[in-house]
């Protein structure tokens, strides 16, 4: 099955342009945007900035506030529980956006983060990912092109490790209905790319 490409996502060209997989995407009235990528790629910063710029609703990453994760005691079952909690939060945000006339909902994580977390930490895919996997209309993959910042929940200071995991993310998002790469080296430029991706998606969706 082929890809319908609005503009190329070649690394030498600007990010923020959307590649649609196969047929056009029929998005919901409230556009659902998921931010994904390896640790320390500015996902939270982008989520907050993009939702503010677009007048949307932001959904925080449940994992960052989870007691088991914070204590370093996360299990495969923890990830399944987090998938359920994140999906619930995203769906509540869509209802809120619809009620207030907001254009979009932006989630600070997605099912891919939990899937790759499970595969790398436990060599298994967490259960219960389906709801979260099918939630986004548009997925924005943040590349590890900004400096790593230390955080108690982070464990990959080596760029080589983050690039290797990013390759797995890139392979996975390539088959999603619509995605764009956010690869600028400054937060302001990354926001510009994300806004361009949103605009490109709105124009080209089915």
pLDDT in tens, 6-29: 333 334 345 667 776 645 566 678
pLDDT at 140 over 60: yes
Q: Torsion angle, CA of 82/87/93/94, rounded to 10 degrees?
A: 170
> What are the residue ranges spanned by the domains of the chain?
3-204
Contact yes or no for 106/51 (Cβ under 8 A):
yes
pTM > 0.85: yes
Q: Is 80 exposed, middle or buried (0-12, 13-18, 19+ CB in 10 A)?
A: middle
End-to-end Cα spacing for the chain: 18
For residues 199 and 202, give the distance between their C-alpha atoms in angstroms, rounded to a whole number.
5
**In CATH, what class is 3-204?**
alpha beta
**pLDDT tens digit string along 28-48?**
789 999 999 999 999 999 999
Reading the block at residue 202, the tokens are 């709105």
For residues 24 and 35, give the distance between their C-alpha atoms in angstroms, rounded to a whole number.
21
């Amino acid at each position: 099955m082929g890809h319908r490409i609005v503009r190329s996502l070649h690394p030498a060209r600007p990010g923020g342009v959307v590649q649609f997989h196969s047929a056009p995407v029929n998005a919901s009235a409230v556009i659902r945007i998921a931010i994904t990528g390896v640790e320390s790629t500015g996902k939270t910063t982008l989520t907050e900035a993009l939702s503010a710029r677009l007048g949307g609703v932001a959904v925080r990453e449940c994992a960052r506030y989870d007691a088991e994760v914070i204590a370093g005691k996360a299990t495969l079952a923890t990830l399944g529980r987090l998938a359920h909690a994140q999906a619930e939060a995203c769906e509540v945000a869509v209802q809120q956006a619809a009620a207030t006339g907001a254009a979009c909902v932006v989630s600070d994580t997605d099912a891919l983060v939990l899937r790759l977390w499970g595969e790398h930490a436990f060599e298994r895919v967490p259960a219960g990912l389906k709801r979260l996997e099918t939630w986004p209309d548009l997925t924005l993959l943040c590349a590890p092109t900004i400096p790593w910042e230390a955080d108690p929940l982070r464990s990959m200071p080596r760029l080589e490790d983050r690039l290797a995991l990013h390759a797995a993310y890139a392979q996975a998002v390539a088959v999603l209905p619509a995605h764009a790469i956010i690869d600028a080296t400054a937060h302001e430029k990354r926001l510009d790319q994300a806004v361009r991706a949103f605009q490109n998606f709105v124009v080209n969706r089915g």
